Amino acid sequence: MTSDYRIMFTWDNEAGVWIATSEDVYGLILEHDSLDTLVERVRKAVPELLELEGIMDNEVSLNYGMFRKERLTANG
């Protein structure tokens, strides 16, 4: 059986890093300046965190969402 877990990536402009969190995976809070590296870290951390919670899923499906806000000014 496959269980689905939602992971949200948010860009912190002040810190210059992506932050990974999840309402579905207790304790998941990771950050890195590279989104690709952060995804790899999430892939390793999620099974470990689930195991700590006593959840032993054979297959895990990670569903990613991203949020990044940018402020642009018009060239005048």
How far apart (Å, rounded) are the C-alpha atoms in residues 11 and 73?
A: 19
Q: What is this structure's pTM?
A: 0.85
Which segments within the chain are labelled E, that is strand? 2-12, 17-21, 29-32, 59-67
Q: Which CATH architecture has domain 2-67?
A: 2-Layer Sandwich (3.30)
How far apart (Å, rounded) are the C-alpha atoms in residues 54 and 75?
A: 55
Mind listing the pLDDT tens digit for each residue in 2-61? 889 999 999 999 999 999 999 999 999 999 999 999 999 999 999 999 999 998 777 889
